[in-house]
Structure 1
């Protein structure tokens, strides 16, 4: 892992920079890290230059010391990409990473050639979702990050994988434990406060990929496939929950490579 200090929020961002070719950014989900993509990076790096950061508050990156909305995530990751001398890149965001990607598409469109949402949505939290975020914040404050992660991770996998992918669930938990308590709380606040960005999907005419899991218990496919346009490709991964990069890495990789092959740089 390499580390770069960003100027706006003075945060150290840890990232992987692997492969050659078209620049592709991979952004992980909540309580994840760049390690979420360990199984697909080897499958992709022969086709692209992969920039895979740990989002602020996660993995080996620094934790924000002040309120840090989704827009700040987007601004800082955009600064990271620019600092690497990359004027334009293709962004793929998983879950939280998708929220960041959409914010970047709105705020830094000139730097994005195309983008994809993986098990993510342009919709904001509804009232129930916002209440759940508050309960999660309280749980983390009361008991710390490890019990919270232990409760969260199994729900990210398809129900049929909870017993058959025990090792992968344990791997995801260990990744989750690296999330700082303050980082998790600030990220929950950021996700709770994010706006509806379906208008971004509607307005942007660059190539867009939407990937959903057939058995995703966190974000149902209809929440991912919220906009239908000629420039939007929709892919449903059969038998996958919220974690196709671990549950079905080859299927996700195939979807990403098919999308990339259709982009004219």
Structure 2
């Protein structure tokens, strides 16, 4: 299905019935990342998935897709569907967007789950890495996509998840260059929302991988303690929905 947002087509899907659970994918991903999870939980929830602008089947909106803008797209979709109460699980960048949504629409959010994500802003080093990424994307997007997706998995799991890694790469190669750049710029410029997470008074969960190279386990542990969030530790890396599907499914069934 398609939502028209500022003359851009935003792709979304609805599955199942019950309380609404909105799933927000990460950078260089799309709604397809939830395909194996949906059948397991659709008997308990109305599942909504969407492609962020410039990802999957959704068109770009701007040269920078800020977390605030992406949260507004999420809100517009909920308005379109007449939904006033929602739980959100966001993976990585999807978690950043979920927090931006929580900041503005706290009253509509019933449960917040950050999957391999953080409320922190980029460190100075990370911002530099984003700058370098922008240069590489502009020169050689295919090389960047291949490297970035490989880096989402720890090296010792590359063989085990070879087909999943290749599928992710094949899909991301179809994304518009401007959409990838807009997301990198948006993530680089995002603000710290740790106070938002701490002040969110309803159920909040951090789902983290002990071998996550992007959002380190110790960082998640400290954040959970500081924000009084429930911490769920998984024996995996940054791609929990691929590496720990069964464990994540159990959280929602």
Shorter-chain TM-score bucket reads over 0.9
Question: Which of 163, 167, 173 does residue 171 from structure 1 map onto?
Answer: 167
Alignment partner of 1:31 is 2:28: yes
| Distance in 2 between residues matched to 1:178 and 1:190, nearest whole Å | 20
Measured in 2, the distance between the counterparts of 1:178 and 1:104 equals 28
Match of 1:217 among 195, 213, 227: 213
Aligned alpha-carbon RMSD (Å): 1.5
Correspondence list, 1:45-60, <5 A: 45-60=42-57
Over 3 Å counting, the alpha-carbon distance change for 1:169 and 1:67 in structure 2 is closer
Please give the per-residue CA displacement for 1:61-109, whole angstroms capped at 9, x wherever unaligned: 0112343311000011111012111111001100000000000000111
* Partner residue, 1:65: 62
Superposition deviation, residue 111 in structure 1: 1.6
Is residue 244 of structure 2 the alignment partner of residue 242 of structure 1?
Answer: no
Misfit runs of 4+, over 4 Å: none
| Residue 8 (structure 2) pairs with residue 11 (structure 1) | yes
Return 10-19 or 217-226, whichever deviates more. 217-226
- 1: CA distance between counterparts of 2:171 and 2:34? 11
Measure how far apart 1:229 and its partner are. 6.9
Check if 1:114 corresponds to 2:111: yes
Instruction: Note if 1:205 corresponds to 2:204.
Output: no
Normalised TM-score (structure 2): 0.95
Within 5 Å, give how 1:19-168 maps onto structure 2. 19-144=16-141, 146-168=142-164
Contact 2:207/2:233 (<8 A) preserved:
yes
1:104-146 superposed Cα distances (whole Å, 9 cap, x missing partner): 00011122111110000011001110000011111110112x2
Who is 1:190 aligned against? 186
Please identify, of 11-20 and 93-102, the stretch whose mean Cα deviation from structure 2 is larger.
Answer: 11-20
State the alpha-carbon separation in 1 of the partners of residues 63 and 133 from structure 2: 19
Q: Distance in 1 between matches of 2:23 and 2:106?
A: 17
Q: CA offset at residue 4 of structure 1?
A: 1.1
Q: Is the contact made by 1:13 and 1:61 (CA closer than 8 Å) also made in structure 2? A: yes
Aligned length: 252
Indicate the SS of the match to 2:225: coil
SS at match of 1:163: coil
Q: 1:260 maps to which residue?
A: none
Q: Which runs of 5+ in 2 are unaligned?
A: none
Are 2:64 and 2:181, in contact at CA under 8 Å, matched by a contact in 1? no
Distance 1:194 1:68 in 2: 10
Q: Counterparts of 1:66 and 1:171 in 2: how far apart (Å)?
A: 27
